């Protein structure tokens, strides 16, 4: 077998915010670092982030500090977050934002010349450092340019298909160049997973093709565990039409700036979906809701601004009840409520997005929107302080790491998560590599096996087309493990996933190894399947509704479940087992925070 080999201290898989931040830190800690990414450098899904980076810098509100941010994050995640992660995140985020400026980032400014911060759902104070509505692009470009300036090696358009291990932990990784299909292996005592999420297992998603859950799956195969996999965030407003852009995000700011949701009968239906828990802080009448935009003191919030999961569920119910739009969404109307000038000024990128992609002028007609799979709260179970997974030498940061956001993530916390835990993972990975004495060895039989597995789809003839299998999986997850879940549907999903696994084992692809997207998809599908199985199994197990997990058959939250995380572990036959794990106990000095500001 022809194989290109390299030797590093740290291999970072993924070149989004977390991966690049990890690589920078590992490099600065003296390690030899390689970054491996499936796309070109700078194209990672981080570019899609719009809102900003949550950090209690107190540039606008001096009363903001890490304790308030910590509290907001924990409450947003319904206290299911490991407290230590949330604490580190809140404490370190401001420094992580500031250092971006040393690397060339240009955030919007306050009148004093400091980094400006914006309001967002769930954050008590205006806290999101931002650049217009393209903060993710600024973040990725800044880190990309820093990575290049430091001279870190980047393997672009290169996919990792296996992590290699020995008795003492990680020894390296195996993959292929997308361009040539040739194999490549890295010897490295530390691997940082920063591969992002799993959204491509769903039919309607705001995620890109890269989000096939590679990191989740690689970690499981290497013997690590996944946590909180049942929690998948559906953003209430994604585009639904035209089909080509179905799932693309419509920012929360549309509703914040006056947009309302209507069904096909023209009713402002959100008033019918106010849960008791939020009734006290939500407007009772349209008149009161409309007054809120100008007078927030004497009026309560419009129900359109309820938490993401509530709004997503309400839209889902309207569509299911047959009151949806022709394309299966609901109307998001700002045109009839605000002047065209106002809309163009406040929502330039939304105006542009609908104009370019849907030929809809949002200043004169309503948008059609529906829920879209946005983010997975679950991921690799890691040590909060050093991002280490349960396999020595394996680290995870960013969306692929689990826990940090509990059952539901607040907007703006993902970018800060990337930076804080990306850095910690890079630091710990470098330390681990420098501590591990001698050279790690890659076993020849493991390499040969990885190569055989990667080429298997070419060996088979007359098998199924990978695109069909992917389509069926997305349909299954969309229909049966979507926003609203029931036990029979999830059992059906698991049966279908088992059948899909067999189909994947018999796929065949046409053509040759050189830049062959059919082959690439065939190799991604096993990852997508195992991640889907984790989600379905954990979701079936958790018999309550909480955050990003809603059970029609268990609609209430349960105090016992509030103390439990679900952990997915690999079984010998390539399947997944789920076990319960009690939450870590929060120390009293942190528990106090929830009393003092409640």
40 binds another protein per the rule CB under 8 A: yes
Asked if 577 interacts with another protein (CB under 8 A), we say no
Q: Which is nearer to another protein, 47 or 481 (CB)?
A: 47
The nearer residue to another protein, 101 or 284, going by C-beta atoms, is 101
Q: Are strands 379-380 and 226-227 parallel, antiparallel or unpaired?
A: antiparallel
Distance CA 352, CA 8 (A): 44
Verify binding: residue 579, another protein, rule CB under 8 A: no
Question: Do the beta carbons of residue 504 and residue 469 sit within 8 Å?
Answer: yes
Does 514 help bind another protein (rule: CB under 8 A)?
Answer: yes
Instruction: Choose one: 32-40, 291-299, 389-397, 414-422; the region binding another protein (CB under 8 A).
Output: 32-40
Please state whether 403 falls in left (phi above 0), alpha (psi between -120 and 50) or beta.
left
What gap in Å lies between CA 141 and CA 540, rounded to an integer? 40
**What 3-state class would DSSP assign to 276?**
helix
Please identify which of the residues 255, 436, 542, 551 carries the catalytic annotation.
Answer: 255
3-state secondary structure 423-452: HHHHHHHHHHHHHCCCCCCCCHHHHHHHHH
CB of residue 519 to another protein, shortest distance in Å: 7
Q: Catalytic residue at 235?
A: yes
Listed ranges 173-181, 254-262, 390-398, 545-553: which one lies at the site for another protein (CB under 8 A): 173-181
- Among 121, 307, 518, 575, interactor with another protein by CB under 8 A: 518
* Residue with smaller CB distance to another protein, 452 or 512: 512
> Dihedrals φ, ψ of 9, to 5°?
-85, -40
Buried b (16+ CB within 10 A) or exposed e, 360-396: bebbeebbbbbbbbbbbbbbbbbebeebbbbbebbbb
Residue 384, C-beta contacts closer than 8 angstroms, at least 6 positions apart: 82, 84, 85, 88, 403
* Helix, coil or strand: residue 493: helix
- Gap between the Cα atoms of 285 and 386, Å rounded: 49
Q: How far is the CB of 281 from another protein (least distance, A)?
A: 34
Hey, which residues between 431 and 460 contact another protein (CB under 8 A)?
Answer: none
Q: Which is nearer to another protein, 82 or 199 (CB)?
A: 199
* Residue 113 found at the interface with another protein (CB under 8 A): yes
Torsional class of 437: left (φ above 0), alpha (ψ -120 to 50), beta (otherwise): beta
Chosen residue from 16, 19, 25, 39 binding another protein by CB under 8 A? 39
Among 106, 321, 495, 577, interactor with another protein by CB under 8 A: 106
In the complex with another protein, the residue whose CB is nearer, 470 or 550, is 470
**Residue 291 annotated to the active site:** no
Residue number, 39 or 414, with CB nearest to another protein: 39
Nearest of 226, 222, 219 to residue 578 by alpha carbon: 226
What is the Cα–Cα distance from 280 to 144, expressed in whole angstroms?
46
Distance CA 230, CA 164 (A): 28
Residue whose C-alpha is closest to residue 376's, from 354, 344, 348, 398 = 398
Q: Is 126 in the site for another protein (CB under 8 A)?
A: no
Instruction: Provide the minimum distance between the beta carbon of 12 and another protein in the complex, in angstroms, as a whole number.
Output: 14
Q: Which is nearer to another protein, 209 or 278 (CB)?
A: 209
Q: List residues bridging with 53 in a β-sheet.
A: 129
Under rule CB under 8 A, residue 467 binds another protein:
yes
Shortest CB 44 distance to another protein, Å = 8
Choosing from 28, 32, 557, 590, the residue that interacts with another protein (CB under 8 A) is 32
Toward another protein, which CB reaches closer, 444 or 552?
444
Window 131 to 170, contacts with another protein (CB under 8 A): 131-132, 134, 137-138, 141, 145, 148-158
Q: How far is the CB of 184 from another protein (least distance, A)?
A: 7
Among candidate residues 21, 130, 235, 551, the one labeled active-site is 235
218-257 positions binding another protein, by CB under 8 A:
241-245, 248
Smallest gap from Cβ 244 to another protein, in A, equals: 4
Task: Tell me the closest approach of the beta carbon of residue 206 to another protein, in angstroms.
Answer: 9
- How many of the chain's residues bind another protein (CB under 8 A)? 84
Pairing mode, if any, of strands 33-36 and 10-13? parallel
Binding another protein (rule: CB under 8 A), the pick from 66, 351, 375, 519 is: 519
CA angle, 532 as apex, 527 and 533 as ends, to 5°?
Answer: 100
Binding flags for another protein, 55-94, as an x/- string (CB under 8 A): ----------------------------------------
Residue 166 burial by CB count (10 A; 0-12/13-18/19+): exposed, middle or buried?
middle
Q: Three-state SS across 336-368?
A: CCCCHHHHHHHCHHHHHHHHHHHCCCCCCCCEE
Q: What are the residues whose beta carbons fall under 8 Å from the beta carbon of 395, sequence distance 6 or more?
A: 22, 190, 191, 192, 193, 382, 386, 387, 388, 389, 425, 428, 429, 432
Of 33-41, 279-287, 365-373, 394-402, the window that binds another protein (rule: CB under 8 A) is: 33-41
Query: Near another protein by CB under 8 A, which window of 104-112, 316-324, 496-504, 565-573?
Result: 104-112
Q: How far is the CB of 111 from another protein (least distance, A)?
A: 8
> 43, 216, 313, 374: which one contacts another protein (CB under 8 A)?
43
Q: What x-and-dash track marks residues 470-509 binding another protein by CB under 8 A?
A: -x-------------------------------------x
Q: Using CB under 8 A, which residues numbered 338 to 367 contact another protein?
A: 353, 356-359
Rounded least distance, CB 462 to another protein, Å: 13
499, HSE (Cβ side, Cα atoms, 13 Å): 10
Closer to another protein at the Cβ: 43 or 424?
43
Q: Which of 212, 590, 193, 583 is nearest to 421 (CA)?
A: 193
Question: Crossing angle of helices 135-150/413-435, nearest 10°?
Answer: 20
Cα first-last separation, the chain: 63
So which residues are the catalytic ones?
235, 255
């Amino acid at each position: 077998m022809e194989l290109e080999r390299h030797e590093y201290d740290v291999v970072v898989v993924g070149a989004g915010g977390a991966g690049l931040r990890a690589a920078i830190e590992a490099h600065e800690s003296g390690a030899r670092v390689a970054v491996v990414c499936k796309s070109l450098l700078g194209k990672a899904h981080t570019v899609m982030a719009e809102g900003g980076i949550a950090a209690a810098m107190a540039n606008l509100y001096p009363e903001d500090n890490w304790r308030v941010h910590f509290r907001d994050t924990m409450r947003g995640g319904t206290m299911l977050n490991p407290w230590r992660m949330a604490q580190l995140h809140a404490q370190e985020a401001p420094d992580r934002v500031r250092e971006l400026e040393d690397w060339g980032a240009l955030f919007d400014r306050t009148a004093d010349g400091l980094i400006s911060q914006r309001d967002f759902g769930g954050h008590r104070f205006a806290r999101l450092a931002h650049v217009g509505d393209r903060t993710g692009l600024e973040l990725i470009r800044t880190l990309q340019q820093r990575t290049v300036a430091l001279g870190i090696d980047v393997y672009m358009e290169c996919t990792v298909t296996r992590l290699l291990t020995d008795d003492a932990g990680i020894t390296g990784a195996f993959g292929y160049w997308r361009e040539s299909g040739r194999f490549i292996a890295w010897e490295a005592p530390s691997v940082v997973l920063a591969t992002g999420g799993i959204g491509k297992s769903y039919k309607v998603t705001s995620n890109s093709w890269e989000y096939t859950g590679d990191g989740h799956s690689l970690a499981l195969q290497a013997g690590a565990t996944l946590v909180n996999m049942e929690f998948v965030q559906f953003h209430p407003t994604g585009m639904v039409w035209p089909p080509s852009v179905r799932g693309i995000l419509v920012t929360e700011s549309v509703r914040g700036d006056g947009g309302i949701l209507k069904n096909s009968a023209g009713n402002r239906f959100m008033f019918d979906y106010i849960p008791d828990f939020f009734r006290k802080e939500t407007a009772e009448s349209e008149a009161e809701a409309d007054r809120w935009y100008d007078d927030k003191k004497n009026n309560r919030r419009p129900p359109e601004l309820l938490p993401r999961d509530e709004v997503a569920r309400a839209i889902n119910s309207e569509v299911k009840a047959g009151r949806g739009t022709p394309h299966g969404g609901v109307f998001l109307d700002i045109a009839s409520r605000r002047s065209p000038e106002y809309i163009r000024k406040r929502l330039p990128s939304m105006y542009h997005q609908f104009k370019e992609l849907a030929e809809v002028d949002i200043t004169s007609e309503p948008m059609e929107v529906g829920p879209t799979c946005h983010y997975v709260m679950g991921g690799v179970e890691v040590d909060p302080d050093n991002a280490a997974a349960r396999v020595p030498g394996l680290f995870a940061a960013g969306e692929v790491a689990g826990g940090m956001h509990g059952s539901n993530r607040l907007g703006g916390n993902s970018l800060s998560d990337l930076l804080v835990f990306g850095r910690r993972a890079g630091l710990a990975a470098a330390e681990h590599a420098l501590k591990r004495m001698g050279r790690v060895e890659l076993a020849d039989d493991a390499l040969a096996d990885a190569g055989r597995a990667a080429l298997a789809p070419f060996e088979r003839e007359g098998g199924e087309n990978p695109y069909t299998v992917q389509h069926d999986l997305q349909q299954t997850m969309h229909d049966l493990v979507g926003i609203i879940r029931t036990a029979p549907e999830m059992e059906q999903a698991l049966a279908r996933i088992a059948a899909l696994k067999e189909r994947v084992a018999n796929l065949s692809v046409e053509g040759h190894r050189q830049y062959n997207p059919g082959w690439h998809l065939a190799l991604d599908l096993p990852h997508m399947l195992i991640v889907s199985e984790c989600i379905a199994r954990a979701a079936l197990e958790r018999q309550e509704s909480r955050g990003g997990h809603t059970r029609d058959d268990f609609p209430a939250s349960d105090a016992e479940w509030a103390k439990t995380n679900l952990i997915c572990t690999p079984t010998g036959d390539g399947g997944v087992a789920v076990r319960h794990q009690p939450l870590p106990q929060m120390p009293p000095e942190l528990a106090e925070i929830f009393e003092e500001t409640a």
